Amino acid sequence: MKKLILHKTTTCHPDGRTLIYYDSAAEGETPPHRSISRVPRETVPMVERRWHALWGEWILVSASRMARPFLPPKEKCPLCPGVLEIPEEYDLAVFENRFPGLSSAPDRPQPSPHPFYKTAPSHGVCEVVMYTSEHDTSLAEMPVDDIYRLMHVWVDRYKEISSRPEIECVYIFENKGEEVGVTLHHPHSQIYAFPFIPPRLQTELNNARESSKQGKCLFCSIVEAEKQDGRRILAETERFIAYLPYFARWSYEVHIAARHGTATMADFDDATSRELAQVLKLVICKFDNLFETSFPYMMVMHQLAEPDWHFHIEFYPPYRDKGKLKYVAGVESGAGNFVVDSYPEMRATQLQEIPPFQVEPVTIQMNMVERRS
């Protein structure tokens, strides 16, 4: 098995935003030279939190996001090397979002117009994780070895960001496809690190804690029920299981759940990263092969450093059938109840009958080192 070293170099943009290169090199080989700069971080204006009194949750206000680029031509893609965000060719890279909803240096918000309303600075982290410098590809098209490399980057970012005392939740996600509102096609994911637990994860945590009071692990109970039924399972390894849940809200919703004892990426060892790369590759390739197209989805990672928690990934593909989009309309948006257009068992059968049928092997062994000035 080929051994590779992932060399991490932290530098920054002229405006002070963090830029990190992750360069791969075989053992004994010299990685690319990266200049290291340190510039004071500018404050980010027009970002704040406002408390939603009806729903009991925070709303993130980020007026600067109106200036985000919208589907630029390939030659003007800001994520390609040398265009805007990353000056050099890269294997993998991470940078602080230019148009964040949360910031490590937020400007102080204006006081609320009435004492009933609450506002707060949007402290937190917003980062963009670049999978590759290649523009015309996707996670599904990347070799499983490259996804395994990406796992090391996600794990590294989770560990570093979650160690900050103000951070309560590190939320990693990928939006893929114009159907879900993507404005840049270059393959990437994002990280939002919140100073609070977001509402959806808080609901899951509340239910997990309630189940724990009754002596049962909620996530283990779900996995056990899925395994006993068996009709909705797509893949199973020693550490992960992929399935369409009995209670799926989206027609092709897939969950990838870790075994008990793995709550966050801080709990990952090399074997866990290796297995998740394999299962993730299988699921997203099944999506692409289903309708013979680059399948759009929202991929979200739910992880909390809690004793009642299992790390899991949820996929929300917007298609309810070939050529038919599922719109989150009046009942879903206004009442909060999803109306599902098909039984998960039917959609699971479709995906089970679509290749790939087995996980691909990982053929490299990866270690990571940090280069310092």
Strands (E), the chain: 2-12, 18-26, 47-52, 57-62, 92-96, 119-121, 125-130, 169-176, 188-194, 233-236, 240-243, 254-258, 297-302, 312-316, 319-321, 324-325, 364-371
* 23 token code pair: 């360069």
How do beta strands 364-371 and 2-12 pair?
A: parallel
Q: Which is it for the CA torsion 1, 362, 265, 97, positive or negative?
A: positive
**3-class secondary structure, 270:** helix
Q: Which residues are catalytic?
A: 188
Bond preceding residue 69 cis, omega within 30 of 0: no
Neighbour order of strands in the sheet with 188-194: 233-236, 240-243, 254-258, 312-316, 297-302, 169-176, 188-194, 125-130, 92-96, 18-26, 2-12, 364-371
**3-class secondary structure, 226:** helix
The Cα angle at residue 366 between residues 125 and 169, in degrees rounded to 5: 20
CA distance 93 to 48: 27
